[in-house]
Structure 1
Amino acid sequence: MKALLSGAPGGPETLELAETDAPVAGPGDILVRVRACAINYPDVLIIEDKYQFKPPRPFAPGGEIAGEVVAVGENVTGWTIGDRVIGACGWNGLAEVAVLPARNAFRLPDDRDFTEGAALLMTYGTSIHALWDRGKLKAGEILLVLGAAGGVGLAAVELGKARGARVIGAVSSEEKAQAVRDAGADDALVYPRGPLDKDASKALAEAIKSAVGKDGANVIYDPVGGDYAEPALRAIAWEGRYLVVGFPAGIPRLPLNLTLLKSCDVCGVFWGAFAARDPQANAAHVTELFSLWEAGKIAPKVSATFPLERAGEAIAALGARSAIGKLVVTLD
């Protein structure tokens, strides 16, 4: 089979399309003919050995796939050859065939295509866990989403509106701001590209305060980090919840005196660990996501597709923070 392999630590330019042996479904696994593989920020990190998991090389990046079951391992029930499936495989998704733990697999409805299906699970799974479980978002509250035009950002915008919140998206360009408004955000704020000096940080804090209103944001969803974290935290409401989702702009150092002054919580969000520790709760979230998808309240935004041989370009675009919504690699 063909796979896009990482043979040594490095950027997307180090990936090589190669022929390799197809994997075998072990106990508890299903084997999937991959039709689409979504690109996510962990793919940027994992090939550089900067992710929390370091698979043995050679391996293919790509942790979120959609396709058809071609084999079923021992001790697996409920799946048969030919079933349409989406799931989180961790890595090795950028290949013609991939192993998927059955506990991470969900049935793709017949009326949804593989490209959309591949773009659903990680972004919306992360965001629903963040907003429902960690942020305790309620109807009528104010939600500020940083990096709101990215995959998890747009998912958070849609889910926030589905929950009945007032949603403000913060982005780095007017093009991204329009994408956020199109996704249903009540307002969009364009912030400058970092790094931010002291004056720029103060100005951004004031701009965010103006956008969220005098009482501040009840929930702040931050998949960006870096110099944007402190200005956002300064705009949080009394007893607000600051959700730490990711760090493509760098790991910030928050002044903890702000958490005391606002009596607010800083909450880590690690969807993968949540899904592994509480698969029933995660499955309930996925069921809710399918219902929201069917009702038209959420819809994966795939801005571009790439063939397998050009998947490195998709990873590079995500690393450069230039993508809007999701990028998906398709395999026909």
Structure 2
Amino acid sequence: MKAYRVTAAGQRPSLVEVPAPQPGPGEVAVEIAACGLNFADLLMVEGTYQDTPPAPFTLGIELAGTVTALGEGVAGLAAGDRVGVFGGRGGLAEAGCFPADRCLQLPDAMPFHIAAAFLVAYGTSHLALAHRARLTTGERLVVTGAAGGVGLTAVELGAKLGAEVVAIARGADKLEVARTAGATHLIEATSDDIRGQLKALGGIDVLYDTVGDPLFGECFRAARPEARLLAIGFAGGKVPQIKANHLLVKNLTVSGLYWGGYMGFAPEVLTGSLKELMGLWETGGLDPHVSHRLPLDEIDAAMELIRTRRSTGKVVVEPRR
């Protein structure tokens, strides 16, 4: 089978032929129909992601497909089940084996390319806004990188939670995508005095930041007293350095959110969130945005869309397309 693998640390990944794996105890084999790309895939290539596995490994942290075989001790799943999987690796291949407890049965009507774009993006934003920040109706939510994979879901979910959403993104096309998802106010990421623009709106109650400095610093200085600031990622490449005395003076809270980390210490929080989100999708309450769908043979082009930030929402690779 084909798989997109990092064969040695520091080397560029390549599409190679590898033997099809067999499920071990507690695992299921999945015929992969779609894999959602994430910024984390780029970090894994560079070896800088917090959960980068040792080489060799297959990239692709989230996927959707059909169960084809069960390993010893697996209950609650059967061959033929349609599943979404947060595997942490292995999604950019024609097949793979994954822990059964990382598989979520999909609604019958959910297409595989939507499922593969759903787990990390919506899961991250739901836990960040509802669980960590406790966002409430009427609060002002500012989202940076607002047209990206997770940022766009934060705009959508924030609006559904009753917040006044301010989207910060680069370019008119991306800002329009954020407006369609529910943003009330739009700010061009390259404009001057973002802090002043945010203050003119009344300041920030909750910040959902995917970019890092210098944009984080501009937003930080526009925070209202008792604001909650969420560090989601650092796509801009610069990690903010936060002065604790500023937190004290304005009674601010800064929280990190690594969605996959919940699998290790509170998996029930993560799975409960996903089940709630799946229910929202089934009732028409969510509208996942996939800007590009490419076959596995075009994986390098798909990765470049993420690297150059030319996509909006999610990029999905379909190995059997």
TM-score normalised by L of structure 2: 0.96
Which amino acid is the alignment partner of residue 59 of structure 1? F
The partner residue of 2:215 within 228, 234, 238 is 228
2:124 aligns to what? 126
Deviations 1:137-176 (A, max 9, x none): 1111111111110010111111111111111111111111
Q: Note the C-alpha offset of 1:261.
A: 2.5
Work out whether residues 171 and 188 of structure 2, in 8 Å CA contact, stay in contact via their aligned partners in 1.
yes
Pairs aligned (count): 319
Work out whether residues 107 and 282 of structure 2, in 8 Å CA contact, stay in contact via their aligned partners in 1.
no
Deviations 1:93-152 (A, max 9, x none): 111111221111111111111000100000111111101111111111111111110010
Deviations 1:12-59 (A, max 9, x none): xx2221110111212221111000000001100001111112323222
SS at match of 2:79: coil
List aligned pairs for 1:61-140, cutoff 5 A.
61-140=59-138
Q: Note the C-alpha offset of 1:243.
A: 0.2
Query: Is residue 183 from structure 1 mapped to residue 181 from structure 2 by the alignment?
Result: yes
Work out whether residues 171 and 177 of structure 1, in 8 Å CA contact, stay in contact via their aligned partners in 2.
yes
Which amino acid is the alignment partner of residue 156 of structure 1? A
Work out whether residues 198 and 204 of structure 2, in 8 Å CA contact, stay in contact via their aligned partners in 1.
no
Q: Note the C-alpha offset of 1:321.
A: 2.3
Deviations 1:212-270 (A, max 9, x none): x22x2211000111211110111112101000000111212223333222211000101
SS at match of 1:310: helix
1:196 aligns to what? none
List aligned pairs for 1:22-37, cutoff 5 A.
22-37=20-35
Query: Is residue 219 from structure 1 mapped to residue 206 from structure 2 by the alignment?
Result: yes
Q: Note the C-alpha offset of 1:208.
A: 2.2
Which amino acid is the alignment partner of residue 273 of structure 1? G
Query: Is residue 8 from structure 1 mapped to residue 8 from structure 2 by the alignment?
Result: yes
2:245 aligns to what? 257
2:276 aligns to what? 288
List aligned pairs for 1:41-80, cutoff 5 A.
41-80=39-78
Q: Which shifted more, 24-33 or 53-62?
A: 53-62
Work out whether residues 39 and 329 of structure 1, in 8 Å CA contact, stay in contact via their aligned partners in 2.
yes
2:317 aligns to what? 329
The partner residue of 1:205 within 175, 195, 205 is 195
- Runs of 5+ consecutive residues of structure 1 not aligned to the other structure: 194-199
Q: Note the C-alpha offset of 1:10.
A: 4.7
How many Å separate the matches in 2 of 1:283 and 1:53? 20
How many Å separate the matches in 2 of 1:172 and 1:9? 33
Query: Is residue 298 from structure 1 mapped to residue 286 from structure 2 by the alignment?
Result: yes
1:245 aligns to what? 232
Deviations 1:180-212 (A, max 9, x none): 00111112111218xxxxxx5xx12112222xx
Q: Determine what percentage of the aligned residue pairs are the same residue.
A: 39
How many Å separate the matches in 2 of 1:299 and 1:28? 33
SS at match of 1:35: strand
Q: CA RMSD in A?
A: 1.4
Q: Note the C-alpha offset of 1:272.
A: 0.6
How many Å separate the matches in 1 of 2:176 and 2:37? 22
List aligned pairs for 1:133-152, cutoff 5 A.
133-152=131-150
How many Å separate the matches in 2 of 1:88 and 1:183? 25
Work out whether residues 226 and 248 of structure 1, in 8 Å CA contact, stay in contact via their aligned partners in 2.
no
- Runs of 5+ consecutive residues of structure 2 not aligned to the other structure: none
Q: Note the C-alpha offset of 1:320.
A: 2.0
1:166 aligns to what? 164
Over 3 Å counting, the alpha-carbon distance change for 1:56 and 1:300 in structure 2 is: same
SS at match of 2:57: coil
Over 3 Å counting, the alpha-carbon distance change for 1:118 and 1:105 in structure 2 is: same
How many Å separate the matches in 2 of 1:143 and 1:19? 46
Q: Note the C-alpha offset of 1:91.
A: 0.9
SS at match of 1:81: coil
How many Å separate the matches in 1 of 2:72 and 2:35? 25
